[in-house]
Structure 1
């Protein structure tokens, strides 16, 4: 058992895979376990999950620097970004980063029948070229290797008329964010936000009127009054984009997100990035300022896995991710696995 930032985590030594699956705190896991027990014994009530949905929604808004009434809920990032992609005008020109996570790029590429074109450019060119496009859609932190997009360049591009769509799945939770200026900001909960899979959110600026293509009962102005019959009576804010909540996912997120939002995220970033850069230094690499490290050494994934560390294989390399529950011992174990094997 580890203690980090005031919470306990039953995370094993050498777990460096938060970028794939975040490990919940004991408090998060216990909240979900209680909800499952109530379900199993017939004690659960559908309307009792509304509070969890609201708490998690507020937590996400706080983590990205947006107003709560701008945040819609979903089960994954791609359907949320799909609402954005389906709402861009015919013939829109969209810019994405080369090698971008496809939950960001595929929804726009699927609009090709309407004349929507998608251009890939290297990440370090996205900021400087964004103003040449109608929409730029990009992850704040790249999933494959942890590189960070130039947010200030994107903000300048937005001032010139470009719509900016951001995915914060690999950033929110360890990186302080102030993204209220962006047109749409989406993120999934099961990685750095330490929540169950099946919860995601998207903040949308009110002047961007997206069509609620997936509107259902939970998108209603009063969800419990919109479960039968017409007329259409949707919420007047971003809740009109809601889809029916994955209950147990929101139960966990209602504990995890408010707690994360209450932390000094500058300290969380310092801790997580400090470990990642310490690992990079041990490999002779320059600091990168990201909590994700991609190792391109031959057999790195096999070496780390054989040593009992949990990492991921991504884009031809071994991907390690350092979160608030990791320690210097995890860094040393990873370096020992790579360097000892290299020497032998």
Structure 2
């Protein structure tokens, strides 16, 4: 039976052959946009760890096999790095030459935090994911002040601050910041797209900074992250993690002075985590070719199927948080994978989820 968006080239197909992964979990082969995913029924934890398409897992496995057998050669990973960088740039709507690579969001945000002026005032959302807020709070010895405000108030307050640092989609409950209002405020803004990129269409070339990690809706291994900056912002950024890979010609900047960094955002590159980049080159590039409006409608539609079934107001996010007694335990008893965040049970819907997954939630909670 086909489920998802009937007639769409990005149609999701369920009820495929069952497989057993590691002799532990029965999984279903589900397809979207020509890719196959091996998904346990009721897997609603993409906001913690995304499941890779088969081609991404195969690329990582090949890289591991080459490493294991001595066939790996370091320069061979330059091409996956290039492809993943370009794919992520397309996903968020920025030029590729304004994107640097890293290993985690906090490491990249830390570069920005270390460069804000002494005494700068930074605004973030209340209960923001700390990889966004902690790097700025850690600058307190320089007089940097970080204030929290309710997410809905952030755009209104933004002009009073030197920088706003906020996630596009909140990790704890899936709430979306008002991007249009933030843009209209003309404030300097750092946006974390880790819980948004891959399911939410984005066009963020107006933002001062955009950061994001690889291992949720981008379906790649943990260990790859990216940062985009505006031209003026990149020109003022100090390359505190300067290394050989940030050179204009990386394999010619391995030894010796003088400092010779790239003229583009590559000057801020961290030496890549090879296996993560090998996977990201496949899944991120694939996602950048999809109709993300269709992906968003599918994911949000499943989230709203659950909310409506529970008599709760529908939303606009692929992430929902349920404040119901024992919800996590009741869902786990039915084999449904979720996460506990900020005292609530978090459910996250991805393109490989189905209406049956949403119905299983309702069955478990109503029971």
TM-score (norm 1): 0.97
Q: What do residues 273-317 of structure 1 show as CA deviations (whole Å, max 9, x unaligned)?
A: 010111110111111110001000010011111111110000101
Residue 113 (structure 1) aligns with: 141
Residue 218 (structure 2) aligns with: 193
Residue 155 (structure 1) aligns with: 183
RMSD: 0.6
SS in 1 for 2:227: strand
CA shift, 1:5, in A, is: 2.5
Task: Work out the CA distance in 2 between the residues paired with 1:285 and 1:179.
Answer: 31
Residue from 345, 354, 358 that aligns with 1:318: 345
Task: Work out the CA distance in 1 between the residues paired with 2:159 and 2:185.
Answer: 5
Equivalenced residue count is 337
Residue from 167, 172, 177 that aligns with 2:202: 177
Residue 59 (structure 2) aligns with: 31
Q: What do residues 184-215 of structure 1 show as CA deviations (whole Å, max 9, x unaligned)?
A: 00000000100000000010111112101011
CA shift, 1:112, in A, is: 0.5
For 1:321-336, list aligned pairs within 5 A.
321-336=348-363
Task: Work out the CA distance in 1 between the residues paired with 2:185 and 2:82.
Answer: 33
CA shift, 1:6, in A, is: 1.9
CA shift, 1:152, in A, is: 1.0
- Checking the alignment, whether the CA contact within 8 Å between 1:90 and 1:116 is kept in structure 2 is yes
Structure 1: which 5+ runs fail to align?
none
Structure 2: which 5+ runs fail to align?
1-28
TM-score (norm 2): 0.91
- Does residue 41 (structure 1) correspond to residue 69 (structure 2)? The answer is yes
Residue 239 (structure 2) aligns with: 212
SS in 2 for 1:207: helix
- Checking the alignment, whether the CA contact within 8 Å between 1:206 and 1:237 is kept in structure 2 is no
SS in 2 for 1:138: strand
Q: What do residues 9-53 of structure 1 show as CA deviations (whole Å, max 9, x unaligned)?
A: 011100000000000001100011011111111111000000000
Residue from 118, 132, 135 that aligns with 2:160: 132
Residue 256 (structure 2) aligns with: 229
Residue 271 (structure 1) aligns with: 298
